[in-house]
Structure 1
């Protein structure tokens, strides 16, 4: 009986080990599926790209948005979570997706005013208190943490952080 030659490559070593393991064992459908499945995700994350983009944005917002009460951040994260279209366009550049979401809030008073209203409602819900809605032509309530001016300022600071990290 001839003496087997030692394998030359890693692939041959792997095949030899696999063959030795399978000796005396029945090959099943589960074995075939697992063998094929092992190549399916090679080099890829099992987490969908859209989820990865949203998670990257959420992490950035969490690190760069100053919000002691949390209602502004929670409302912005709701907007991010709901916007699959913008996130889908920026799989490779999540911060560009965030910038695209912030742009309408910063450039259109109507959008910002509605966003601040949502933040105020979130704050009221979180703290079980009546929110202070800012009315056009009237000064903001002295206890209103989320005025149009303060939210604009926080979103501008977040946009500046996005631009700084994007360049």
Structure 2
């Protein structure tokens, strides 16, 4: 038994009671008082949201993209695939590797990703986007051509592989 600790607890309880006695009772305050104990020791952000944020931060920090439009499209893909990510929660960078690898290995997925970046570019810049057709050269002013998106994805993939080799995914 620690008499100083007991005295401190007693003083804290008296102070709280004095503060409460001067307030009018409200249901919101009562719920707030009791609800505070539910989250003690727990992170209020769900684990899947933490993983999505971790991967999205990684994408932001390791994707060369001055206008950040491709970054936002990739981040949205991670968020929209949170169910698949939750199935690989022990290896989140393995999930991200697979997501990026599938775009590089399947041209139609790369073209769709590029199209989504072009659409978002057009929305943000209030201009008609440039859509590159498969097998055709890109428009000279197109920031997101199939080739440029693939190059950025390869850079990101290399960073993911370095991360996976360098440390545990957890």
The answer to whether structure 1 residue 147 and structure 2 residue 145 are counterparts is yes
**TM norm structure 2:** 0.76
Q: Are residues 90 and 154 of structure 1, via their aligned partners in 2, closer, same or farther at CA, if it must alter by over 3 Å?
A: same
User: Please, which of 64, 67, 70 is the counterpart of residue 69 of structure 1?
Assistant: 67
What is the 5 A alignment of 1:1-167?
A: 7=1, 38=37, 40-167=38-165
Q: Could you say what the CA RMSD is over the residues aligned between the two structures, in angstroms?
A: 2.9
The unaligned stretches of length 5 or more in structure 1 are 1-6
**TM norm structure 1:** 0.77
The number of residue pairs the alignment matches comes to 159
Q: Are residues 146 and 19 of structure 1, via their aligned partners in 2, closer, same or farther at CA, if it must alter by over 3 Å?
A: closer
Q: In structure 2, how many angstroms separate the alpha carbons of the residues matched to 1:149 and 1:139?
A: 9
The unaligned stretches of length 5 or more in structure 2 are 22-28, 166-170
Give 1 or 2 for the bigger CA radius of gyration. Answer: 1
81-90 vs 139-148, which moves further: 81-90
RCO (CA 8 Å, sep 6+): is it higher in 1 or 2?
2
Q: In structure 2, how many angstroms separate the alpha carbons of the residues matched to 1:44 and 1:161?
A: 31
